[in-house]
Amino acid sequence: MKFDLRKLVQKETVAQVTKIKQNLVEALRRATPVDTGEARDGWRVEGDKIVNDVPHIKQLNEGSSQQAPARFVEQTLLSQRGVSPRGTIVKS
């Protein structure tokens, strides 16, 4: 019986990265202030990035809502286990 260890490790790595991305999106959804739910529901994964292209997400992250502090996106991501910045966290 033969096992291709490289393929097995690669498959497991992809599964773990996918799970991490999903957990980050869920954390961002929980942290996002809600009026209509549009900004909360705007979080999604695109390739290796987590994006939210709802027009007012920038203003929410700058502190326009009393429901969440300014820079809640950065705070949420940096509070997650295993997350450490290697560059820009939020790009407008």
pLDDT in tens, 36-76: 999 999 999 999 899 999 999 999 999 999 999 999 999 99
Three-state SS at 50: strand
Dihedrals φ, ψ of 36, to 5°? -100, -15
Of 44, 61, 66, 62, nearest in space to 53 by CA: 44
This prediction has a pTM of 0.85
Please state, in angstroms and rounded to a whole number, the distance separating the CA atoms of residues 33 and 36: 9
Q: What are the residue boundaries of the structural domains of the chain, listed by start? A: 5-78
Please state, in angstroms and rounded to a whole number, the distance separating the CA atoms of residues 24 and 2: 36
Mean pLDDT computed over every residue of the chain: 91
pLDDT band with cut points at 50, 70 and 90 for residue 78: very high
Q: Where are the beta strands (DSSP E) in 1-92?
A: 44-46, 49-51
